[in-house]
Structure 1
C-alpha cells in the first residue's frame, strides 16, 4: 500500500480525460465501463473482470490490448460522437447509460473543503449506496476510481470524493487514518443527503489503505455494511515485514534468510517511523553484513525495496514528505475491528506481494470465531488491486481482475449472496449464512 505512496515521490501522472468516459449498456444485456488513464489511452472493464487498454488508431477505431500487457486482444471499439453516446464494442452495439450525477462540495474534518460526486442508477427506486474510500494514492478519485460507475451500472449508487490534499479537495495530503475517517463520516452524511429518498442501504468500500480508514469511520457513524478490497488487519510496519517474508518464500528461501532480511526491513521501518531520526546506523550495519548474500537482491517488502538502494543522505532527502504525512506506522487495526459489529466483507488476493493476506486472514478468522459478522473471500492467483497476472521474466504483468470480485462486491452492497464468485474461497460468519 505504501508502495503507491513512495512511488509518488519519484513520478507523477497527468490526468487525461475523454468525452467517451462513462458507463454503457450493451445490446446483449451486459454493461461496459470506459475509464480514463494517465495517458491518452482509455481502459475498458467488464463486470466479469476482463479489461484492456484502448489506443486510438486509424478510421476512428480504438484497438485493445490484453489486460495491462502490450498484446492485441482482437477487440476493437468505435464510438459515436459524444452527443449520441453510442458504442460498438467487439461487434456489440451499446449506448451510454443515463446515470444520475450530482457533483458537490462538502466539509470534512476541521472545515476542510472536500469535493465529491454521487452517481445513481437510472430511475427513482431506492438503491444501496457505496461510499468509496480510496487508498494511499495522491491522484483524484473522482477522475480515476472506475467503481464510481461500475456500481451504478449494476444498480448500486456510488459516492466518490477526492480525499484531502488530492484532486480538487482542500487540505494537505495525510496518512492520519483518524482524520481521514472523520472525512469519510462526512462523506456518508453527504451521500445520504444528496440521495434523499433514493438512499437504501449505505456503506463503505475501502481499497488498500481504505481498509484501515473505512472500519474506523464505521465506528463513528452508522452504516449498513463495509467492503474491504485487499486491505489489512495489521499495521503498516507489520505489512512490510510480511511482504518481505512472503516474497522470499516465493523465491524458495527459508526462515533463517527471512530473519536476516527482517533486520533490513526493521531498520528501514525505524527510520521512517521515527521521522528520519533513528535507524540509519542499524541499516548501514545490516547492509554491510548482508549485501553480498545471494538473497539480498530478492528483498522486496512493501516499501523496503524502494529504500534499500538509497544512501542515508538520499533517504533523508527523499523521505522528507513522510515527516509531514503523519503516517500511523503502528496502527492497531484489531482494536477497531474487535468492537465493530457492522457486517464486513474482506476480499483478499492470495498472491498479494505488497499487502500479503496471510496474517490478516488469520486475524479475521479469529474475529469470526468470536461471532463478529465478518465474511472473508480469498481469490487465488490475485495480487494487490485484485488483478490476476502472468510472468514476464521476474515481473508480474496484470491480465484481468479476478472473476467474481465485482459481482461479490455488488451483491454484498445489495444485501444478497449468490455464490459461487469465481474461484474465491469464502468463509461466512459463524452466526450467519448470508450478509
Structure 2
C-alpha cells in the first residue's frame, strides 16, 4: 500500500473497528461442534482457521466482516459478525461462542537472558497433555502469531508459547545457534511444568521448520514424553539448500544436467553463506563470481533459488561484504541432525509436505523411514499436496504459489498425537508410516 493511502486508511479507521478487531481474536466453539480460531492479520484484517484446515481472511465491510479464500484475496461469500460484549460471533450460518481459556503470562531465564512466555490451558481443572511450541526462523513474536496456542487448548491440550530470544518481548539478540535455542526450549519446558502443576500429565515439544533441528536436541537434554516435528528436516542446512535447488528446478521442467549446474552455483553460495552467518571474514566470493559469470546468460539461471542461495545470488561482492553483519546469526550450516535423532528415545511424529519447495521432504522422509525400520518409535506423515507451513496452494502461470488452506488432517493429527491416543487410520490424504511392531 502506498504511504499516502496508508495514512488515509489510518485516519479513516474508527476506534470501534479497531476495538472489535482486537476483541474478536480468540478461539470459538461453533454451534455444530466445530472450532474456529480468529487471529490478527495485516492492516487490521483478521485470519480464521478451522481444525479441518479451512482458512481465510476477513476484512471490515460496513457492519460486518467479509471473507476471502485462503490467501488468494478472492471473495468467498462468507459474512462474519462479532459481538464483543457477549464474546460471540456469527460465522456464516453458524453461531460461535468464544472459549474461555486459562491464560497466564510469565518470564523465565535461560543462559542469563529473560524470555517471555504464556501458558494457555483448556477450561476446567482436569489433567491435560501440554505442548511447548518452538519456532522456525521467523523474527516475529510467537505469542502474537502462533495460532496453535489456542487451537490446541480448544481441543483439550495445554500450550506454552514463548518469544524466542531476540524476538517480541524476550531479551538478547536474534540467533540461529541451534544448541543455544535448544537450551532455551529446555528452560521453557521447566517453566511450563512449574506453571501447570498437577494439571500437566504429559509434556512434548512441537518444532516447526527450523524448530525441527532444535526440538530433537532439546529432547536429548531434558525429560519429555513426546516430540512433534512439522515441516522440518533430517538433513543439514547446506543440504536443505542443495535439495531445494534440485526440487525447484525439477518442478520447472529442467533435467539432471541443468540441475547439476544450478547446484554448482548453490555450492559456491553455500561457502559464502557459511562465513557470512558465522560473522567471519567472507570467503568464497571469487569462486561465486566465477560460477555466476559462467552461467549468468543461461536461460535457466533466473530460476535458481534454493533456500538461501537466492539471498546471495543477486548481490555484488561489495553488497555481500556490506550486508554480511546483518546475517551473522550463527547458523550451523553443516549441522548433521542424524546423531541426535538416533539418540532420541521418546515417541516422535514427523509431519512433512510433499510439495515443500523450501524444505523438500524426499531425503528427510527416507532417513526417517530408516529410523523407523531400525525400531525407533516414530510416526511419519507425508501430506502429498502440502508445501512449507502445511498449506495447499494454487499455482499461477508464472509458477508462483498462493496458499488456499491448510492441508486436511494436519491439525487433527497433531491433536491426536499430543493426546497420546491411538491414531486414526487416515488423516486427509497423508501417507503414513507407523512405528515397526514390537517383537
Task: Say yes or no: does 1:196 pair with 2:197.
Answer: yes
Q: Structure 2: how far apart are the matches of 1:297 and 1:358?
A: 24
Q: Structure 1: how far apart are the matches of 2:61 and 2:385?
A: 33
Task: Say yes or no: does 1:220 pair with 2:226.
Answer: no
* Cα shift at 1:38: 3.5
Alignment check: 8 A CA contact 1:230 1:384 kept: yes
Q: Structure 2: how far apart are the matches of 1:193 and 1:432?
A: 35
Q: Structure 1: how far apart are the matches of 2:188 and 2:42?
A: 26
Matched residue, 1:313: 318
Alignment check: 8 A CA contact 1:373 1:432 kept: no
| Larger CA deviation: 32-41 vs 200-209 | 32-41
TM-score, length-normalised on structure 1? Answer: 0.93
Q: Structure 1: how far apart are the matches of 2:313 and 2:98?
A: 48
Alignment check: 8 A CA contact 1:25 1:95 kept: yes
Matched residue, 1:64: 67
Point out where structure 2 has 5 or more consecutive residues left out of the alignment. 1-17
Task: Say yes or no: does 1:85 pair with 2:87.
Answer: yes
Q: Which runs of 4+ in 1 moved over 6 A?
A: none
CA shift digits 1:193-212 (9 cap, x unpaired): 11111101100001000000
Point out where structure 1 has 5 or more consecutive residues left out of the alignment. 1-15
Alignment check: 8 A CA contact 2:282 2:321 kept: no
CA shift digits 1:291-329 (9 cap, x unpaired): 111211111111112321121112222232222x11110
CA shift digits 1:198-252 (9 cap, x unpaired): 1011000010000000000000001111111000001111100000000111112
Matched residue, 1:151: 152
Alignment check: 8 A CA contact 1:131 1:187 kept: yes
Matched residue, 1:304: 309
Matched residue, 1:419: 425
After TM superposition, the structure 1 = structure 2 runs for residues 234-313 of structure 1, keeping only pairs within 5 Å, are: 234-275=235-276, 277-313=282-318
Alignment check: 8 A CA contact 1:77 1:90 kept: yes
Task: Say yes or no: does 1:388 pair with 2:397.
Answer: no
Q: SS state of the match for residue 372, structure 2?
A: helix
* Aligned-CA RMSD value: 1.3
Q: How many residue pairs align between the two structures?
A: 414
Matched residue, 2:12: none
Q: Structure 2: how far apart are the matches of 1:312 and 1:304?
A: 14
Q: SS state of the match for residue 321, structure 1?
A: helix
Q: Structure 2: how far apart are the matches of 1:252 and 1:195?
A: 52
CA shift digits 1:125-173 (9 cap, x unpaired): 1011000001100000000000000000111110000000000001111
Q: Structure 1: how far apart are the matches of 2:253 and 2:438?
A: 39
Q: SS state of the match for residue 359, structure 1?
A: helix
Alignment check: 8 A CA contact 1:373 1:431 kept: no
Q: Structure 1: how far apart are the matches of 2:79 and 2:203?
A: 37
Task: Say yes or no: does 1:25 pair with 2:26.
Answer: no
Q: Structure 2: how far apart are the matches of 1:336 and 1:77?
A: 47
Q: Structure 2: how far apart are the matches of 1:321 and 1:269?
A: 17
Task: Say yes or no: does 1:361 pair with 2:365.
Answer: yes
Matched residue, 1:322: 327
Task: Say yes or no: does 1:49 pair with 2:53.
Answer: yes
Q: Structure 2: how far apart are the matches of 1:38 and 1:309?
A: 29
TM-score, length-normalised on structure 2? Answer: 0.92
Q: Structure 1: how far apart are the matches of 2:364 and 2:117?
A: 31
Task: Say yes or no: does 1:401 pair with 2:373.
Answer: no
| Larger CA deviation: 235-244 vs 253-262 | 253-262
| Larger CA deviation: 214-223 vs 252-261 | 252-261
* Cα shift at 1:431: 3.1
Q: SS state of the match for residue 364, structure 2?
A: helix
Alignment check: 8 A CA contact 2:273 2:312 kept: no
Q: Structure 1: how far apart are the matches of 2:292 and 2:175?
A: 31
Q: Structure 2: how far apart are the matches of 1:87 and 1:404?
A: 25
Matched residue, 1:38: 42
Alignment check: 8 A CA contact 2:102 2:120 kept: yes
